[in-house]
Amino acid sequence: MSADRERTFVMVKPDGVQRGLVGEIVGRLEARGLRLDGAKLLTIDRDLAEDHYAEHVDKPFFEDLVSFITSGPALAMVWSGQDATRQVRQMMGDTDPAVAAPGTIRGDFALDLGRNVIHGSDHEDPGANEREIDLFFDPDELVDYDRIDEPWVYE
Ligand code: DAT
Ligand code: MG
């Protein structure tokens, strides 16, 4: 494994941090076999929030979304692995926790669209992962290493 490695941006949103779900969410991604390449706890400012959610600027919920995401510390992370972007999205579940399947992060830990605990790059928007990683991380804040279990995770 290495040729197929893909990086994706993941964030435990302020509700997830306040509710003590950081360990649970990181634990699920780790246990799946994904590799943690970078992490920082930060309170997102308005400029960064508006850049990050630029695609939603014209939506009626944009103001609420920006005010929520800037309301407290969030854990920004980069995870990597085979097909990582899509696999993380599957683990997150539907955007609306009310219809997210049990077993997914949103389906297990959230109930409301505006408090859905986790962000992950959109796998249907090519380049979203790289764009979001660049927004939150400098290249020297990310590491490349071998997880010792990778021969047991990948054929
Ligand atoms: P996702 O977070 O699954 O990528 P998205 O990119 O469509 O979903 O929307 C970003 C966030 O905006 C989402 O996590 C919650 C909020 N949101 C989306 N649609 C909404 C709506 N119809 N009403 C209120 N908030 C919404
Ligand atoms: Mg999205």
pLDDT, residue 91, reads: 99
d(CA 153, CA 30): 11
Q: Which CATH class is domain 6-138?
A: alpha beta
Give the atom of ligand 1 at the shortest distance from the alpha carbon of 120. Answer: 4
User: Residues enclosing ligand 1, CB less than 6 A?
Assistant: 56, 61, 65, 95, 113-114, 116, 119, 122
Q: Answer whether 0.85 is exceeded by the pTM.
A: yes
Atom of ligand 1 nearest to the CA of 13: 14
Residue 119 among the catalytic residues? yes
| DSSP string for the chain | --TTEEEEEEEE-HHHHHTT-HHHHHHHHHHHT-EEEEEEEE---HHHHHHHTGGGTTSTTHHHHHHHHTSS-EEEEEEEEETHHHHHHHHH--SSTTTSPBTBHHHHH--BTTB--EEE--TTSTTHHHHHHHHH--GGG------TTHHHH--
In the set 52, 56, 119, 123, the catalytic residue is 119
3 pLDDT band, cuts 50/70/90, is low
pLDDT in tens, 49-97: 999 999 999 999 999 999 999 999 999 999 999 999 999 999 999 999 9
Cα(95) to ligand 1 centroid in Å equals 6
Please write the tens of the pLDDT for every residue from 8-62.
999 999 999 999 999 999 999 999 999 999 999 999 999 999 999 999 999 999 9
Report domain extents, the chain.
6-138
